[in-house]
């Protein structure tokens, strides 16, 4: 199993999910669960959408497979055009992959080869944030800032550098000013560029809202300052939107929500709502230019990228976004969601509630006043020993996680309205209310 402690299942069964309908899924015993994590930040339009199944079947019957190596097919062309039209600014070129890690790999390889082609071959390094997850393949894992998941695979790809993330709750020096904290965090990127040598740095990889660690939104002005720094030193800004694109934050792209212009956007997950795998990157016209000349080739590709069936499903998925105004639904209900989760702050274990759109983290603490967190043993008892199982038993799928400080994460399907958002908060209230007695 992926990223799963398999001994956890020595004395009980692996949950087997057999069916989905709207925001709910069902296990093999017929028990219903509210899918408060959209599977894994994926199922934007919800489960059981026959339109998407039909789009896949139709395309498989017409042309199941053809590569994007020297060929094209109509769905990939149409999807690329549609994504380019939706993407901010001059992000007009699309390179498809099959998922998020490959998208991140592709972005790093593109950055390295771009700089070689324009006569700056010494630029190969990347900067990313502490605790940020950018994928599991060797390049993407090297960019990832989760120190604990790397040692088993070292040595990793050289040239990946960490800077602080934007966890304001754990930034006591800036207790009074989110803006000052944002400026300091962005300036840490400049300091890292200067330390490494500006002519060695190719790109900065940042998520609009950092997932791992428990949903850190950017402080006001953070991305504007990062953009200035990237421009000053000629470094590319890659917005890793594998989670934050396709409505998660109420916009097609997370960068739109915070008003910054990336040079590259990486995406996957919600583009197809998970009915089939697909990912990719959107890059600016400027980055594409050197690849259009002479005998130059972007020497990179994977067999199933932009698969005809995946592209057909992505188009049908975007049709649902438009028909049902899913971005409008998130915008209309995000304040309700925030209020429902903020309402849990009276529980002794709830330290912080943070996020945006339909993407929230609740940080759990031992002591609310001092913000003291749990030690490793307590975390183990709380998360593995109690919370993960209890939330599931109570009918809520979400993520209880301790990569960083312990958090519970929520990312419901974008079709959810007040009733489902309240159901999430009500299950959390009963389970988190009990958690203290299981330490
Ligand atoms: C921000 C980010 N980048 C990259 C990835 C890797 O995507 P995948 O699991 O599709 O390879 C993830 C996965 O959760 C992610 O959240």
DSSP 199-211: GGEEEEEE-SSB-
The answer to whether the CB of 52 is under 6 A from ligand 1 is no
The answer to whether the CB of 211 is under 6 A from ligand 1 is yes
- Taking the CA of residue 211 as reference, the ligand 1 atom at the shortest distance is 16
CB contact set of 144 (below 8 Å; sequence gap of 6+): 128, 132, 133, 134, 135, 150
Which residue puts its alpha carbon closest to atom 10 of ligand 1? 100
The answer to whether the CB of 55 is under 6 A from ligand 1 is no
For residue 426, what are its two tokens?
């009500």
Report the mean per-residue pLDDT for the chain. 97
Given this model, what pLDDT does residue 292 score?
Answer: 95
Residue 407 CA, ligand 1 centroid: distance in Å: 18
3-class SS at 76?
Answer: helix
Q: Is residue 203 scored above 80 in pLDDT?
A: yes
E-only strand ranges, 272-411: 279-284, 350-356, 359-364, 396-397, 399-401, 407-410
Q: Is residue 286 scored above 90 in pLDDT?
A: yes
CA dihedral 269, 275, 280, 283 (to 10 degrees): -80
Residue 30 CA, ligand 1 centroid: distance in Å: 30
Residue 101 CA, ligand 1 centroid: distance in Å: 5
Given this model, what pLDDT does residue 175 score?
Answer: 86
Residue 268 CA, ligand 1 centroid: distance in Å: 8
Q: Is residue 328 scored above 90 in pLDDT?
A: yes
The answer to whether the CB of 243 is under 6 A from ligand 1 is yes
DSSP class of residue 13 equals P
pLDDT band at 397 (very low <50, low <70, confident <90, very high): very high
395 phi-psi bin (left φ>0, alpha ψ -120 to 50, beta other): left
Residue 400 CA, ligand 1 centroid: distance in Å: 18
- Taking the CA of residue 240 as reference, the ligand 1 atom at the shortest distance is 1
User: Are the beta carbons of 132 and 198 closer than 8 angstroms?
Assistant: no
Provide the whole-model pTM: 0.98
Report the 10 Å Cβ neighbour count for 90.
16
Q: Is residue 48 scored above 80 in pLDDT?
A: yes
Residue 207 CA, ligand 1 centroid: distance in Å: 10
Given this model, what pLDDT does residue 439 score?
Answer: 74
For residue 243, what are its two tokens?
């989670």
User: Which CA distances in Å does 369 have to 43, 181, 348, 351, 405?
Assistant: 37, 21, 10, 9, 16
Question: Which is it for strands 125-129 and 201-206: parallel, antiparallel or unpaired?
Answer: parallel
Given this model, what pLDDT does residue 11 score?
Answer: 85
Which residue puts its alpha carbon closest to atom 8 of ligand 1? 100
The answer to whether the CB of 409 is under 6 A from ligand 1 is no
pLDDT tens for each residue of 64-123: 999 999 999 999 999 999 999 999 999 999 999 999 999 999 999 999 999 999 999 999
Q: Count CA atoms closer than 13 A to 174's CA, side-chain side.
A: 16
pLDDT tens for each residue of 125-142: 999 999 999 999 999 999
- Taking the CA of residue 268 as reference, the ligand 1 atom at the shortest distance is 10
Residue 365 CA, ligand 1 centroid: distance in Å: 27
Q: Is residue 436 scored above 80 in pLDDT?
A: no
The answer to whether the CB of 265 is under 6 A from ligand 1 is no
Which residue puts its alpha carbon closest to atom 13 of ligand 1? 135
pLDDT band at 213 (very low <50, low <70, confident <90, very high): very high
For residue 359, what are its two tokens?
């993407």
Q: Count CA atoms closer than 13 A to 354's CA, side-chain side.
A: 21
User: Are the beta carbons of 279 and 100 closer than 8 angstroms?
Assistant: yes
pLDDT tens for each residue of 221-274: 999 999 999 999 999 999 999 999 999 999 999 999 999 999 999 999 999 999
Given this model, what pLDDT does residue 385 score?
Answer: 87
Give the distance from CA 88 to its chain's centroid. Answer: 18
The answer to whether the CB of 100 is under 6 A from ligand 1 is yes
Query: Exposure string (b/e) for 254-292, b if CB count within 10 Å is 16 or more?
Result: bbbbbebbbbbbbbbbbbbbbbbbbbbbbbbeebbebbe
pLDDT band at 310 (very low <50, low <70, confident <90, very high): very high
- Taking the CA of residue 132 as reference, the ligand 1 atom at the shortest distance is 1
Given this model, what pLDDT does residue 438 score?
Answer: 77
């Amino acid at each position: 199993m992926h990223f799963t402690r398999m001994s956890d299942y020595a004395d009980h069964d692996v949950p087997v999910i057999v069916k989905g309908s709207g925001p709910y899924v069902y296990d093999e015993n017929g028990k219903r669960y509210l899918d408060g994590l959209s599977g894994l930040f994926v199922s934007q339009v919800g489960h059981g959408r026959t339109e998407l199944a039909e789009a896949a079947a139709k395309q498989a019957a017409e042309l199941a497979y053809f590569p994007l190596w020297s060929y094209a097919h109509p769905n990939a062309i149409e999807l690329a055009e549609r994504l380019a039209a939706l993407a901010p600014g001059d992000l007009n070129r699309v390179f498809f992959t099959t998922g998020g890690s490959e998208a991140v790999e592709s972005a790093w390889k593109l950055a390295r080869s771009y700089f070689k082609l324009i006569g700056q071959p010494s630029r190969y390094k990347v900067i990313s944030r502490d605790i940020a997850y950018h994928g599991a393949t060797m390049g993407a894992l090297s960019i990832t800032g989760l120190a604990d998941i790397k040692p088993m695979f070292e040595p990793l790809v050289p040239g990946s550098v960490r800077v602080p993330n934007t966890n304001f709750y754990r930034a006591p020096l800036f207790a009074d000013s989110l803006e000052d904290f944002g400026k300091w965090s962005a300036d840490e990127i400049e300091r890292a560029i200067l330390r490494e040598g500006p002519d060695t740095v190719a790109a900065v990889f940042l998520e609009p809202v950092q997932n791992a660690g428990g949903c850190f939104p950017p402080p006001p002005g953070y991305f504007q300052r990062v953009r200035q720094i990237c421009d000053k030193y000629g470094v590319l800004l890659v917005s890793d939107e594998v989670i934050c694109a396709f409505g998660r934050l109420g916009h097609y792209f997370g960068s739109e929500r915070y008003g910054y212009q990336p040079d590259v956007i990486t995406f996957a997950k919600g583009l197809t709502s998970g009915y089939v795998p697909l990912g990719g990157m959107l890059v600016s016209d400027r980055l594409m230019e050197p690849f259009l000349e002479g005998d130059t080739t972007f020497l990179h590709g994977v067999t199933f990228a932009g698969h005809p069936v995946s592209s057909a499903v992505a188009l049908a998925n975007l049709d649902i976004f438009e028909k049902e105004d899913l971005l409008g639904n998130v915008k209309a209900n995000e304040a309700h969601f925030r209020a429902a989760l903020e309402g849990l702050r009276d529980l002794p274990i709830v330290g912080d509630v943070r996020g945006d759109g339909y993407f929230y983290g609740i940080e759990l603490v031992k002591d609310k006043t001092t913000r003291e967190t749990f030690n490793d043993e307590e975390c183990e008892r709380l998360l593995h020993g109690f919370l993960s199982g209890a939330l599931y038993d109570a009918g809520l799928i979400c993520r209880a996680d301790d990569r960083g400080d312990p958090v519970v994460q929520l990312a419901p399907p974008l079709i959810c309205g007040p009733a489902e958002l309240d159901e999430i908060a009500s299950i959390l209230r009963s389970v988190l209310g009990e958690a203290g007695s299981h330490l």
